[in-house]
Amino acid sequence: MTRWPLPLKHLRIAIPLIYGLTIAATLLHAADTPALQTTTWTYEPAATTSNQSPCPSPATCQIWRQFRASHPWPYQTFALQQQPNTNEAVIIISEPPPTLSRDQLAQVLRKIFGDSFLEFNYDRWATGVDGWLEDVVLRVRTNPDQPTTTVLSGELQTWQAPADIVDRLRLLHLILQKTSDGFWLDRIDSSSSSDANAVPIAELKIPVSDVAGWLAEDKRVWTSIATGSVIKRTTRELYAEKTPGVFRCEHGMVALVAPANVKLDNLAPQFRRFAVASDLILGASGLNKGGLLLLGRLRQLPLATLPPLRFESLASFARNKTQHLAQSYERQRIFAGRIQSGKYAGWDWAPILLSQQLDDSEFGTLLNLADQILKSWSEHGRVEYYAFAYPKPDKYPFEPGPASDYFRDKYLTASLLFNWNTEGVATITTVNGKEILTGDRTGALHILYRPSNSLLEELGTARVDFRAMQKDADERATHARDYFATRGDPILVRVLQNVLLFQAAQSFLTIADPQDPTRLSRSDQVASVLQKQASLWLSQINRGDSDVERSISANLKQFMRTSGYSTDKMAQVLASPQSVERDLQRAYEKYRSTQSDALWMPGYLQKSAQHAHELFESTCNSVGGHIEKTPAGNKCNWKTTGPFDTAPEVFASYDAYTQGLKKMENDFIASLNRIQEQRDEVAALWDTYAKASEIAQKLSARAGGVDLDDVLRKVLESTAASATTGSIRTPSVVLSKNSVDVESIGGHNIDLIPPRRVVEPNFEISKVSTPGPHSIPQIGELPPPRPEIATLKVERSGTLLSEMRPLANDTDTASPRFATLQAKAKTCQCEAIVTQGEDGVIYYTRNAPPPYTGPLFGKTAVIDALATPPPVHIVRFEGFSGDTVENLSRSTALLTDTSHQGSFNKALDSLNGLFGRSSVTTSRSEVTITVTRDGQAPEILRIGENSGTLAALREPMEWRTAGVSEATPQKFAELFGNEAVLHDGATTGVVVEFARKEAGSQRLLGITVDSATAQRPGFWARLRAVVSQWLRSQPAQPRPWAESLVDLRQTIKRELSPADLRFYYQNNQRRIRVAKLFTRPRTEG
Amino acid sequence: MTNSLAILFAIPVNKEEFDQVVARTPRSDYLTGMLLSASPEQIWASDYQSISRAALALISTAHKLGVAVYQRATLHDFSVATSNFSTIILFTHWRGAIVRPTDFLVGFPAVNAQMSRSPALQHVRIVVSEIAAVVTALNAEIESLNSLNVLPKSLADAGRRTKSIGQTLCRDLIDESLLGMIVPGNRVEFFDGLYTPAQVEAALSAGFSGQIDFALCNSAALATFIDLRRHNAVRHLHWPTVIDPRPQLIKVEKTLNLMNEYGGDYAKTRLFVEESE
Domain locations in chain B? Answer: 2-96+187-276, 101-177
Q: What mean pLDDT do residues A273-285 have? A: 95
- Chain B within 8 Å of A789 (Cβ-Cβ)? yes
Question: Contacts of residue B274 in chain A, CB cutoff 8 Å?
Answer: 894
- Which of A799, A842, A861 is opposite residue B196, by nearest beta carbon? A799
Reduce the DSSP state of residue A690 to 3 states and report it: helix
Q: Provide the pLDDT for residue A921.
A: 40
Question: Contacts of residue A860 in chain B, CB cutoff 8 Å?
Answer: 162, 165, 220, 223-224, 227, 238
Question: Contacts of residue B221 in chain A, CB cutoff 8 Å?
Answer: 800
Mention every residue, 6+ apart, whose C-beta is less than 8 A from residue A84: none
Q: Nearest chain A Cα to B258, which residue?
A: A956
Mention every residue, 6+ apart, whose C-beta is less than 8 A from residue B41: none
First to last CA, chain A: 78
Contact yes or no for A99/A178 (Cβ under 8 A): yes
- The Cα–Cα gap between A724 and A310 comes to 18
- Chain B within 8 Å of A836 (Cβ-Cβ)? yes
Between residues A87 and A507, the one the model is more confident about: A507
Check CB contact under 8 Å for A802 and B227.
no
pLDDT of A1076 > 60? The answer is no
Backbone angles phi, psi at A969, to 5 degrees: -60, -40
What is the edge-to-edge ordering of all strands in the sheet holding A842-846? A852-856, A842-846, A832-836, A875-878
Q: What is the pLDDT of residues A323-360, one digit of tens each?
A: 889 998 888 777 888 888 888 888 888 899 999 999 99
Q: What is the pLDDT of residues B52-61, one digit of tens each?
A: 999 999 999 9
Check CB contact under 8 Å for A812 and B158.
no
Contact yes or no for B67/B53 (Cβ under 8 A): no
Contact yes or no for A909/A892 (Cβ under 8 A): no
Between residues A697 and A538, the one the model is more confident about: A538
pLDDT of A196 > 80? The answer is no
Check CB contact under 8 Å for B202 and A856.
no
How would residue A945 be classed by pLDDT, with cut points 50, 70 and 90? very low
Ranking A100-109, A785-794, A905-914, B253-262 by mean pLDDT, the lowest is A905-914
Chain B nearest CA to A897, separation (Å): 9
- Which of A775, A790, A886 is opposite residue B268, by nearest beta carbon? A886
Question: Contacts of residue A1038 in chain B, CB cutoff 8 Å?
Answer: 262-263
| C-alpha distances out from residue A371 to A379, A445, A491, A731, Å | 12, 11, 10, 14
Check CB contact under 8 Å for B161 and A890.
no
Chain A nearest CA to B45, separation (Å): 34
Q: Provide the pLDDT for residue A23.
A: 52
Check CB contact under 8 Å for A857 and B117.
no
% of chain A at pLDDT higher than 70: 77
- Chain A within 8 Å of B78 (Cβ-Cβ)? no
Question: How distant is the alpha carbon of residue B173 from its chain centre?
Answer: 18
Check CB contact under 8 Å for A884 and B235.
yes
Question: Contacts of residue B229 in chain A, CB cutoff 8 Å?
Answer: 250, 803
Mention every residue, 6+ apart, whose C-beta is less than 8 A from residue A368: A127, A128, A131, A327, A352, A354, A730, A731, A734
Question: Contacts of residue B161 in chain A, CB cutoff 8 Å?
Answer: 861, 864-865, 868
Check CB contact under 8 Å for B228 and A807.
yes
Q: What mean pLDDT do residues A398-416 have? A: 86
Chain A nearest CA to B16, separation (Å): 32
Q: Provide the pLDDT for residue A503.
A: 96
pLDDT of A307 > 70? The answer is yes
Ranking A478-492, A884-898, B30-44 by mean pLDDT, the lowest is A884-898
Give this complex's ipTM: 0.90
pLDDT of A552 > 80? The answer is no
Which of A158, A253, A815, A860 to probe the B interface (max B CBs under 10 A)?
A: A860
Check CB contact under 8 Å for B172 and A887.
no
Q: Provide the pLDDT for residue A8.
A: 39
Q: What mean pLDDT do residues A746-772 have? A: 63
pLDDT of A56 > 70? The answer is yes
pLDDT of A96 > 70? The answer is yes
Q: What is the pLDDT of residues A968-1000, one digit of tens each?
A: 777 777 777 665 555 454 556 888 888 776 555
Chain A nearest CA to B144, separation (Å): 17
| Pair type for strands A426-431 and A434-439 | antiparallel
Q: Nearest chain B Cα to A801, which residue?
A: B169
Reduce the DSSP state of residue A266 to 3 states and report it: helix
pLDDT of A704 > 70? The answer is no
pLDDT of A1001 > 70? The answer is no
The amino acid at A1076: K
Residues in chain B: 277
- The Cα–Cα gap between A248 and A246 comes to 7
- The Cα–Cα gap between A84 and A87 comes to 8
What H or E segment, with its residue span, contains residue A92? strand A88-94
Between residues A777 and A490, the one the model is more confident about: A490
Q: What mean pLDDT do residues A403-431 have? A: 87
The amino acid at B10: A
- Chain A within 8 Å of B40 (Cβ-Cβ)? no
Q: What is the pLDDT of residues A659-676, one digit of tens each?
A: 888 888 888 888 777 777
Please list the ranges in chain B whose pLDDT falls under 50.
Answer: none
Ranking A75-79, A421-425, A653-657, A760-764 by mean pLDDT, the lowest is A760-764
Check CB contact under 8 Å for B198 and A799.
yes
% of chain A at pLDDT higher than 90: 25
Q: Provide the pLDDT for residue A816.
A: 66
- Chain B within 8 Å of A802 (Cβ-Cβ)? yes
Check CB contact under 8 Å for B157 and A805.
no
What part of A 379-418 touches B (C-beta under 8 Å)?
none
Closest listed residue to residue A750, CA positions, set A370, A475, A224? A370
Ranking A25-39, A581-595, A1004-1018, B7-21 by mean pLDDT, the lowest is A25-39
- Which of A805, A854, A893 is opposite residue B157, by nearest beta carbon? A854
pLDDT of A21 > 50? The answer is no
Check CB contact under 8 Å for A902 and B154.
no
User: A701-737 burial, b for 16+ CB within 10 Å, e for fewer?
Assistant: ebbeebebbebbebbbebbeeeebebbbbbbbbbbbe
- Chain B within 8 Å of A887 (Cβ-Cβ)? yes
- Chain A within 8 Å of B206 (Cβ-Cβ)? yes
What angle is formed at CA A900 by the lines to CA A895 and CA A903, rounded to 5 degrees?
A: 80
Chain A nearest CA to B207, separation (Å): 5
Q: What mean pLDDT do residues A67-79 have? A: 94
- Which of B154, B221, B268 is opposite residue A808, by nearest beta carbon? B154
Q: What is the DSSP string of A107-149?
A: HHHHHHHGGGEEEEEEEEEESSSS-EEEEEEEEEE--TTSPEE
Q: What mean pLDDT do residues A466-480 have? A: 90
Between residues A606 and A770, the one the model is more confident about: A606
Contact yes or no for B115/A772 (Cβ under 8 A): no
- Chain B within 8 Å of A807 (Cβ-Cβ)? yes
- Which of A775, A805, A812 is opposite residue B207, by nearest beta carbon? A775
Q: Provide the pLDDT for residue A1075.
A: 34
Check CB contact under 8 Å for A799 and B176.
yes
Check CB contact under 8 Å for A803 and B225.
yes
What part of A 133-172 touches B (C-beta under 8 Å)?
160
Check CB contact under 8 Å for A887 and B271.
yes
CATH class of B2-96+187-276: alpha beta
Q: What mean pLDDT do residues A721-744 have? A: 84
How would residue A1077 be classed by pLDDT, with cut points 50, 70 and 90? very low
Q: Provide the pLDDT for residue A269.
A: 94
Check CB contact under 8 Å for B207 and A776.
yes
Which of B208, B222, B227 to probe the A interface (max A CBs under 10 A)?
A: B227
Q: What is the DSSP string of B37-89?
A: SS-HHHHIIIIIHHHHHHHHHHHHHHHHTT-EEESS--HHHHHHHHHH-SEEE
Chain B nearest CA to A1078, separation (Å): 28
